[in-house]
Amino acid sequence: MTAVLTPWTREEFENKLREKGKGYHSHHPFNVLMYEGKLTREQLQCWVANRFYYQIGIPQKDAAIMSNCPDREIRRSWILRITDHDGDDKAEGGIEAWIKLGEAVGLTREDVTSLKFVSPGVRFAVDAYINFARQRPWQESVCSSLTELFAPHIHQQRISSWPEMYPWVKEEGMIYFKKRLTEARRDVEQGLAVTLSHFGKSREMQERALEILQFKLNVLWVISDSIMLACCDVSIENGVHYLRQDQMK
């Protein structure tokens, strides 16, 4: 007879989720090089252009979660995530802020919104994430959003390091990262509450939550892989990644 494992306590479960941050894409070689100021102008432009596809996918993912969720109170609070990115009559959202980031790094609005620089790998990874949210129970999709646990740190890194590392980037381009510092923390509280409550009932469900979060971490890692291949001629010598000039702009 297989022994039934005791569920982790709520605190232990949350710690297990947070430990997954070790695999967050902030540790990807491309993002490390970005933080160290080692990307060229063209490589940073390529990153911005490709990541736009992820930005426009976020409200689609959140709309899918809402369409699968029968809980009115959850929907009423979750809808804020859509307006955060799409904007409304009172404020421009994160998608518009990302377009401004593109302009701040030297791209045109058309360069960004046409999606002409988006690599097939980025499209595939983002589409897989949206399809996950459409097809899986809404609680699983909420759990997948918990990579936001680790996002404020990477946003703060960019706010702190870019003015020194990439002084040619116009200041208005930082609006998106500053905006997400507060939004992400609010979103984490909601997503974490749902995940701890729904998946905390058994060890099997808790482990399923960790698998779901790992899936989302994998999506973000593959996006970084695809961007690195798309905008860089990459070689590895002695375990060190070298990124060379791209012909993007």
Per residue in 64-113, pLDDT tens? 999 999 999 999 999 999 999 999 888 889 999 999 999 999 999 999 99
In the chain, how many domains are there?
1
CA distances to 57, 96, 123, 194, 206 from 174, in Å: 20, 12, 25, 31, 37
* 108 within domain boundaries: yes
For residue 189, give its domain range. Answer: 14-244
Give the domain CATH number at 182: 1.20.910.10
**For residue 153, what pLDDT is reported?**
87
* 4 within domain boundaries: no
* 2 within domain boundaries: no
Cα 141 from Cα 164, distance rounded (Å): 37
**For residue 2, what pLDDT is reported?**
61
* 249 within domain boundaries: no
Stronger pLDDT, 88 or 8, i.e. the higher one = 8
**For residue 185, what pLDDT is reported?**
81
Q: What are the DSSP calls for 31-75, one per residue?
A: HHHHHTT---HHHHHHHHHHHHHHHHHHHHHHHHHHHH---HHHH
Give this prediction's pTM.
0.91
**For residue 147, what pLDDT is reported?**
96
pLDDT at 60 over 90: yes
Q: What is the mean pLDDT of residues 142-149?
A: 96
pLDDT at 139 over 90: yes
Q: Rounded to the nearest 5°, which phi and psi values hold at 237?
A: -125, 125
Q: Which helix (H) or strand (E) holds 147?
A: none
Two tokens at 213? 């979060």
Q: What is the mean pLDDT of residues 108-125?
A: 96
pLDDT interval class at 247 (50, 70, 90) = very low
Dihedral of CA atoms 24, 128, 185, 206 in degrees, nearest 10, equals -80
Q: What angle do CA 58, 59, 64 make, to 5 degrees?
A: 100
Q: Let me know how long the chain is.
A: 249
pLDDT interval class at 1 (50, 70, 90) = low
Indicate the pairing of strand 233-237 with strand 240-244. antiparallel
